[in-house]
Every structure is written in C-alpha cells, then in structure tokens.
Homo-oligomer: A and B are copies of this chain.
C-alpha cells in the first residue's frame, strides 16, 4: 500500500511514468522538445500511446502542447512558480496542523523512518533518490492526513515544484534538506500545531527563497523564445 509507487501496469501508464520520472529527477530540462515519433521508438510503443501520455502530462502541467508544433517540457513562469508555492503553503500548513491532532504512533514511526531514509540517501550521494525522497516526505504527510484527493493534489504540486526548481534554482543544492523535515516531525510529535504550521510555512518559504524569481532573467533554452 505504498502510495509512492505510481502503478506501472498498463503500457501507456508506463510511458507516462517514465517521462514523469525523468522530469521529476530533472534529467529532462524545461523547454526540451519531445517528438512523438522519437519517444515512440525509445519506448517501443505506437505513437498513439505516446500521445495519450503527453496529453495526461499536459493535464498535470509538466508538458506544454502547442498545436501543430509539438510537446515541450513546461517552462513555468515566475508567476506560476509563486502560485504553486502559495498553493502548497495553503494546503500543507493545514494538513500538518491536522496531523498534530490525529497522528498515531505508527504514523510517527513512518515519518521518522522516511527522514532517516532521506539522510541515508543524501549521505550516500544518491542525488536521484534524494530528490525523490525529499518530495516523498511531503506526500507522506498528505497520505497520513487521510485524504486521497489532497494526496493527488500534493503529488501534482510536488512534481511541478521539481520542474520549477530545475528552472529557477541558481545557488545551493536541489532538495529540501532533511533537517527541516525532522523539525516539522518533531513539532508534530509534540502535537504543537502552531509550531508545526509555522515550520512548514517557513520550510516552503526557504525552498522558494532558494529560487531566482525576479522576472528579469527569464532563462530559456529555446532560441525561438530568446529571439522574440
């Protein structure tokens, strides 16, 4: 019942997941063009399957579909980036507050185990796992809050955040840092709702602060976008 696994049963979900993962891991950079035929060959599926996957990814905001031009890894604007963080603060501060009142011993154990896993991955220098686990902590909070719907929303927000980080991150490293997660966990353990909310809010602010969201230097790879 691990909610991290994103059911790779059907072939079409497989191509969706593989592209999703590549974007979440930041191997596919924003602005990258995704040709349908090329993807079809890589994954050994028909072009129709690729189109379905791309359509779903567009719905999740990870790729942008331009009519008669093709699919590109999305390049969220600074406004959109700020909006995503706003939405995360709105939802996640509410959820941690609720968790303070409702968390079971088992919940706390799972969160503790997760933070340890994050530490281990970071210590081992496994950047791929670090990025995934870092977002996974936030998803775990959504899961423990007991709302499948909000968990889906959070999954969407976390993956979009990954894209935003890939685009606007200038200084320092990629992930949240397990220390702040540990602090939030400690507040939840103490059932200190106000502190947990404050810490989560601050944590997301910290993440947003790492970004270069000044509108002046809209970086891009696409010559089309550079040369007006």
Sample (15) of A-B pairs whose CB atoms are under 8 Å apart: A52-B55, A55-B55, A55-B56, A56-B59, A59-B59, A80-B149, A83-B147, A86-B149, A86-B150, A87-B150, A90-B91, A90-B150, A91-B91, A94-B94, A153-B153
Residues on B with C-beta less than 8 A from A87 are 147, 149-150, 153
Q: Per-position contact with B for A48-78: 1 when CB-CB < 8 Å, else 0?
A: 0000100110010000000000000000000
Residues on B with C-beta less than 8 A from A80 are 148-149
Residues on B with C-beta less than 8 A from A23 are none
Quote the shortest CB–CB distance from A189 to chain B (angstroms).
22
Could you tell me how many residues of chain A have their Cβ less than 8 Å away from some Cβ of chain B? Answer: 21
A187 at the interface (CB under 8 A from B): no
Top 10 nearest A-B pairs (CB, nearest first) are A87-B149, A90-B94, A83-B149, A87-B150, A86-B147, A83-B147, A59-B59, A83-B148, A87-B147, A153-B153
A100 at the interface (CB under 8 A from B): no
Q: How far is the CA of A10 from the CA of B87 in the complex (A)?
A: 29
Residues on B with C-beta less than 8 A from A153 are 87, 153
Residues on B with C-beta less than 8 A from A84 are 149
Quote the shortest CB–CB distance from A68 to chain B (angstroms).
12
A99-146 CB contacts (< 8 Å) to partner B: none
A95 at the interface (CB under 8 A from B): yes
Residues on B with C-beta less than 8 A from A56 are 55, 59
- CB closest residue in chain B, given A79: B148
- CB closest residue in chain B, given A82: B147
Residues on B with C-beta less than 8 A from A86 are 147, 149-150
